[in-house]
Amino acid sequence: MTKMIKKKLRRSRPAWRGGAVTRLSPGEQDAMRAAGAFAGELLDQVTKIMRPGVSTGELDNLVETLTHERGATSAPHGYRNHGAPPFPSHCCTSVNDVVCHGIPDKARVLRDGDIVNVDVTPILDGFHGDTSRTFLLGENVSQKARQLVADARRALWLGIFAVAPEGRTSAIGSAIQDFAEARGYGVVREFTGHGTGRAFHTAPTIFHYRTPGRGERITPGMAFTIEPMINLGHWKTEVLADGWTAVTADGSLSAQWEHTLLVTEEGVEVLTLGQKEAPPPL
């Protein structure tokens, strides 16, 4: 398990987001497209410096600099949730058994063989673009880790392909869980996707596993994230004493990919694609 703070861990809690679903106007949808495109650009720039020997603090500094140069702000910086202290950084960097919300640190130097998820959410002109990728560091990443990262990406895209106007959000979790568990992975329950727009986190809650009922009806104007966290072992997680860093309860590796989607009259748009990104073979 990640050796960060030697204090008692606490059990993670699922995020249940109630309230009404926000449906964006055509002008707001255009603003979301711009924010999403910028989020994808940020991760493209992170990709350029991602290598063994780089610290997670350096990754955060890059995200901060590029965000401010664009006249945007970082949604994670100063964010408060569940009584935790304000999040201190501009992105999340989650290494190996860290499931999500890892805090960048200049002393945390990435090593050959690591896997690391970088999660960015710039706020551009008042709208949020939320996306993450998991990177392979160097030449010594194990075959199991490589397959986990590839399968986590496939799970995300299977969730995306399950989205259809007038469909139900429950189809997303069913598609992800069926795929991941058939390959022996654990699908994290405690953290979910979410609606987004002018606010960072809104309804609906997007579960990455099968849930009772049919879920929210998917209608034009909705924007939300899909961000499955897939573990090489059990699905359970714990949160470290810093109040943010979530790790796998059994110390196994975890991988995550995330995109923000917009539902329109014509179908579904993935807003946070990288410049050269395309769906993986499924």
Among the listed residues 246, 258, 282, 262, the one whose alpha carbon sits nearest the alpha carbon of residue 102: 246
How confident is the model over 13-33, as a mean pLDDT? 81
pLDDT recorded at residue 255: 98
How confident is the model over 124-150, as a mean pLDDT? 98
pTM of the model: 0.93
How confident is the model over 41-67, as a mean pLDDT? 98
How confident is the model over 209-231, as a mean pLDDT? 95
- 99: pLDDT strictly greater than 90: yes
Helix H or strand E encompassing 62:
helix 56-69
How confident is the model over 177-204, as a mean pLDDT? 98
- 7: pLDDT strictly greater than 60: no
Evaluate whether 163 touches 218 at the Cβ level (below 8 Å).
yes
- 5: pLDDT strictly greater than 50: no
pLDDT recorded at residue 17: 52
Evaluate whether 217 touches 263 at the Cβ level (below 8 Å).
no
- 36: pLDDT strictly greater than 60: yes
Evaluate whether 219 touches 263 at the Cβ level (below 8 Å).
yes
DSSP letters spanning 29-55: HHHHHHHHHHHHHHHHHHHHH-STT-B
Mean pLDDT of the chain: 93
Amino acid at 93: T
In the chain the domains, ranked by start, together with CATH numbers, are 11-270 (3.90.230.10)
pLDDT band, residue 18 (cuts 50/70/90): low
- 232: pLDDT strictly greater than 50: yes
How confident is the model over 229-258, as a mean pLDDT? 98
pLDDT band, residue 214 (cuts 50/70/90): confident
Tell me: the pLDDT tens digits for 140-182?
Answer: 999 999 999 999 999 999 999 999 999 999 999 999 999 999 9
- 14: pLDDT strictly greater than 50: no
- 68: pLDDT strictly greater than 60: yes
CA distances (Å), 124 to each of 22, 130, 181, 196, 210, in order?
A: 18, 11, 37, 13, 33
Q: In whole angstroms, what is the distance from residue 117 CA to residue 96 CA? A: 9
- 15: pLDDT strictly greater than 60: no
pLDDT recorded at residue 20: 82
pLDDT recorded at residue 9: 44
- 16: pLDDT strictly greater than 50: no
Evaluate whether 191 touches 15 at the Cβ level (below 8 Å).
yes
Q: Token digits for 71? A: 């006249």
Q: In whole angstroms, what is the distance from residue 187 CA to residue 235 CA? A: 5
